[in-house]
């Protein structure tokens, strides 16, 4: 399920032959030093490898084609150390299929005021070399991130780090397989969409499976495997006594373990990155998968409930983007509200399936009835989420294109304990305020199934949207409803016409 092999970011410097061979060698040495520093930066999760100094159309086209064909290359950092006439970039950038970031930096941080001469000026002229390169990118209507500042600056490395995380998620998505077990929850609209358009746009594929295919796996697990997994549950969680070995309802925990073993094996055999379930199609399963889904999300699988495959794909991508960071990312649902005049809040949860990566402390493993689905009581992890900043994100299919909607939120403590609520939950205050957030989200057509992340920022999602060439509507501290409504109208025109603006038509 996890991506195999390591991912690399390639560092390419632009120059030209006007200044002599020694200048190009110096550009190469300096570019390598920058690439090595970025490679060692803790802010950048992928390897950064210096590749070449591009000085001709042929060299540049060659490295771009090489990047396209290199499975390990997730993207490129491009920087023009000297002036680099940008017509030489047309062929390469036209062919380039990998994301790139334009790093607008300079080798030396400070001007050598008393020493500076024309040799220095000619060598260190990213100030206009990068503007020439930037013009060509804009002339070609290429989506890219522009990061500005000295390469040793922590902020610059952080900006590049978020971009690298977006590139890593994008890279993973290109070959991701989503298993849709059962179809959609009947009559629901936002979880539907065009799977062909999604594969063409994002790279991932979605294919359907009958729940019977899964049931065979669930029934195939051995008593020994089930026993071992139940023992592991008792180590990892605070298991209620009735579910423990010897407890009155231990058989339900064993059923839950069987579902996890079966689902894991099913997904593993299909090399899947994510999956969906639906409570309306559970033939042959004793319980709606709850605990199993929670644990699979923790391990990096994407998930969407009720057949929501776009959400499963987005969760998988965001899991990859957040690899190695402390915190968590989960499937979520805006469930119910606290509309007190002194502070409106959202209580987020789902019937069962919230990822334990966002849990505050050790989750409790409990069993409770589930009023829908018509099956036996499902086992599930119950927990709260610590306060702090988070984002909610969703992708919707508007019929002619996809839109990413993102809302920055602040997780807060519940006003009181929630002793009767039998599911994992988070309470948050959306930015800029509840009314503006909810109205904006609704105008944007955002779904009720966001991906909730305590580790990612809206910046990485913006970088991701640029890579995918999709619209992103950001709801944050600066948002007003009237501006969002205008933005949505402008976006409707722009994304309809954007193909006509592209350089090559
Ligand atoms: Mn739901």
Per-residue pLDDT of 5-32, as tens digits, reads 589 999 999 999 998 899 999 999 999 9
Question: How remote is the CA of residue 74 from the centroid of ligand 1, in Å?
Answer: 33
Question: How remote is the CA of residue 35 from the centroid of ligand 1, in Å?
Answer: 44
Question: How remote is the CA of residue 61 from the centroid of ligand 1, in Å?
Answer: 47
Task: Kindly indicate the confidence band of residue 503, based on its pLDDT and cuts at 50, 70 and 90.
Answer: low
Question: How remote is the CA of residue 382 from the centroid of ligand 1, in Å?
Answer: 17
CA distances for 37 relative to 28, 45, 48, 52, 324, angstroms:
14, 13, 9, 16, 20
pLDDT in tens, 195-226: 999 999 999 999 999 999 999 999 999 999 99
Q: The whole model's pTM is what?
A: 0.97
**Whether the predicted pLDDT of 273 surpasses 70:** yes
Mean pLDDT of 466-472: 96
Question: How remote is the CA of residue 178 from the centroid of ligand 1, in Å?
Answer: 18
Question: How remote is the CA of residue 44 from the centroid of ligand 1, in Å?
Answer: 35
Question: How remote is the CA of residue 429 from the centroid of ligand 1, in Å?
Answer: 20
Question: How remote is the CA of residue 167 from the centroid of ligand 1, in Å?
Answer: 29
**Whether the predicted pLDDT of 444 surpasses 60:** yes
Question: How remote is the CA of residue 237 from the centroid of ligand 1, in Å?
Answer: 25
Q: What is the chain's mean pLDDT, rounded? A: 96
CA atoms of 460 and 438, how far apart (whole Å): 22
Give residue 213's pLDDT: 95
Question: How remote is the CA of residue 351 from the centroid of ligand 1, in Å?
Answer: 7
Q: How far is C-alpha 124 from the chain's CA centre?
A: 36
Question: How remote is the CA of residue 452 from the centroid of ligand 1, in Å?
Answer: 14
Question: How remote is the CA of residue 272 from the centroid of ligand 1, in Å?
Answer: 21
Mean pLDDT of 463-478: 97
Give residue 5's pLDDT: 54
pLDDT in tens, 307-327: 999 999 999 999 999 999 999
Give residue 3's pLDDT: 47
Question: How remote is the CA of residue 304 from the centroid of ligand 1, in Å?
Answer: 8
CA atoms of 35 and 428, how far apart (whole Å): 40
Mean pLDDT of 257-281: 97
Question: How remote is the CA of residue 361 from the centroid of ligand 1, in Å?
Answer: 25
Question: How remote is the CA of residue 234 from the centroid of ligand 1, in Å?
Answer: 28
Question: How remote is the CA of residue 317 from the centroid of ligand 1, in Å?
Answer: 19
Residues above pLDDT 90, as percent of the chain:
95
Question: How remote is the CA of residue 414 from the centroid of ligand 1, in Å?
Answer: 22
Question: How remote is the CA of residue 206 from the centroid of ligand 1, in Å?
Answer: 19
CB contact at 8 A, 465 and 472:
yes
Question: How remote is the CA of residue 70 from the centroid of ligand 1, in Å?
Answer: 39
CA atoms of 100 and 170, how far apart (whole Å): 12
Question: How remote is the CA of residue 306 from the centroid of ligand 1, in Å?
Answer: 6
The answer to whether the bond into 180 is cis (omega within 30° of 0) is: no
CA atoms of 113 and 127, how far apart (whole Å): 17
Give residue 504's pLDDT: 54
pLDDT in tens, 127-179: 999 999 999 999 999 999 999 999 999 999 999 999 999 999 999 999 999 99
- From the list 370, 365, 422, the residue with the least C-alpha distance to 229 is 365
Question: How remote is the CA of residue 287 from the centroid of ligand 1, in Å?
Answer: 17
Question: How remote is the CA of residue 124 from the centroid of ligand 1, in Å?
Answer: 55
Give residue 102's pLDDT: 98
Task: Identify residues whose C-beta is under 5 A from ligand 1, the ion.
Answer: 305, 333
State the greatest distance between any 2 C-alpha atoms of the chain, in Å, as a whole number: 85
Question: How remote is the CA of residue 350 from the centroid of ligand 1, in Å?
Answer: 6
pLDDT in tens, 401-427: 999 999 999 999 999 999 999 999 999
Question: How remote is the CA of residue 307 from the centroid of ligand 1, in Å?
Answer: 9
pLDDT in tens, 338-390: 999 999 999 999 999 999 999 999 999 999 999 888 899 999 999 999 999 99
Give residue 502's pLDDT: 66
Question: How remote is the CA of residue 494 from the centroid of ligand 1, in Å?
Answer: 32
Question: How remote is the CA of residue 2 from the centroid of ligand 1, in Å?
Answer: 26
CA distances for 103 relative to 9, 68, 131, 135, 149, angstroms:
13, 20, 11, 14, 8
Count of H-run helices and E-run strands, the chain: 15, 20
Question: How remote is the CA of residue 437 from the centroid of ligand 1, in Å?
Answer: 20
pLDDT in tens, 82-94: 998 999 999 999 9
Task: Give the three-state DSSP class for 175.
Answer: coil
Question: How remote is the CA of residue 370 from the centroid of ligand 1, in Å?
Answer: 14
**Whether the predicted pLDDT of 1 surpasses 50:** no
Give residue 2's pLDDT: 43
Give residue 350's pLDDT: 97
- From the list 41, 54, 39, 43, the residue with the least C-alpha distance to 8 is 39
């Amino acid at each position: 399920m996890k991506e195999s092999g390591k991912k690399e970011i390639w560092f390419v410097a632009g120059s030209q032959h006007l200044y002599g061979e020694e200048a190009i060698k110096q550009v190469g040495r300096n570019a390598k030093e920058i690439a090595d520093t970025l490679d060692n930066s803790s802010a950048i999760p992928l390897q950064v490898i210096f590749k070449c100094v591009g000085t001709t159309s042929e060299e540049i086209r060659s490295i771009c084609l090489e990047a396209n064909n290199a499975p390990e290359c997730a993207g490129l950092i491009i920087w023009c150390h000297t002036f680099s006439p940008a017509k030489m970039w047309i062929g390469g950038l036209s062919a380039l299929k990998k994301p790139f970031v334009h790093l607008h930096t300079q080798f030396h941080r400070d001007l050598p005021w008393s020493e500076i001469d024309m040799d220095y000026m000619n060598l260190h002229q990213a100030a206009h070399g990068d503007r020439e390169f930037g013009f060509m990118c804009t002339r070609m209507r290429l989506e890219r991130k522009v990061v500005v500042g000295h390469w040793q600056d922590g902020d610059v490395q952080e900006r590049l780090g978020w971009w690298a995380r977006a590139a890593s998620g994008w890279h993973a998505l290109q070959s991701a397989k989503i298993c849709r077990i059962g179809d959609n929850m009947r009559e629901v609209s936002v979880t539907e969409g065009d799977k062909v358009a999604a594969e063409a746009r994002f790279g991932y594929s979605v294919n359907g499976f009958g729940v019977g295919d899964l049931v065979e796996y669930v029934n195939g697990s051995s008593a020994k495997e089930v026993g071992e997994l139940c023992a592991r549950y008792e180590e990892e969680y605070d298991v209620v006594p009735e579910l423990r070995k010897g407890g009155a309802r231990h058989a339900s925990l064993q059923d839950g373990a069987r579902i996890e073993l079966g689902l894991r094996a099913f997904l593993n055999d299909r090399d899947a990155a994510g999956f969906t379930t639906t409570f309306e199609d559970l033939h042959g399963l004793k319980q709606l998968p709850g605990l199993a889904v929670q644990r699979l999300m923790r391990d990096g699988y994407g998930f969407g409930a009720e057949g929501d495959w776009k959400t499963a794909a987005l969760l998988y991508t965001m899991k990859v983007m957040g690899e190695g960071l402390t915190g968590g990312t989960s499937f979520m649902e805006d469930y119910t509200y606290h509309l007190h005049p002194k502070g409106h809040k959202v209580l987020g949860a789902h019937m069962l399936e919230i990822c334990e990566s966002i849990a505050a402390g050790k989750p409790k493993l409990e069993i409770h009835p589930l009023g829908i689905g018509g099956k036996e009581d499902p086992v599930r992890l119950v927990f709260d989420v610590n306060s702090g900043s988070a984002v909610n994100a969703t992708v919707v299919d508007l019929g002619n294109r996809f839109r990413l909607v993102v809302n920055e939120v602040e997780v807060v403590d519940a006003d009181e304990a929630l002793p009767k609520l039998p599911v994992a939950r988070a309470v948050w205050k959306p930015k800029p305020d509840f009314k503006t957030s909810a109205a904006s989200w609704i105008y944007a057509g955002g779904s009720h199934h966001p991906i909730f992340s305590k580790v990612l920022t809206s910046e990485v999602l913006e970088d991701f949207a640029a890579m995918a060439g999709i619209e992103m509507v950001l709801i944050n501290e600066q948002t007003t409803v009237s501006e969002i409504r205008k933005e949505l109208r402008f976006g409707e025109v722009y994304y309809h016409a954007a193909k006509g603006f592209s350089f090559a038509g």
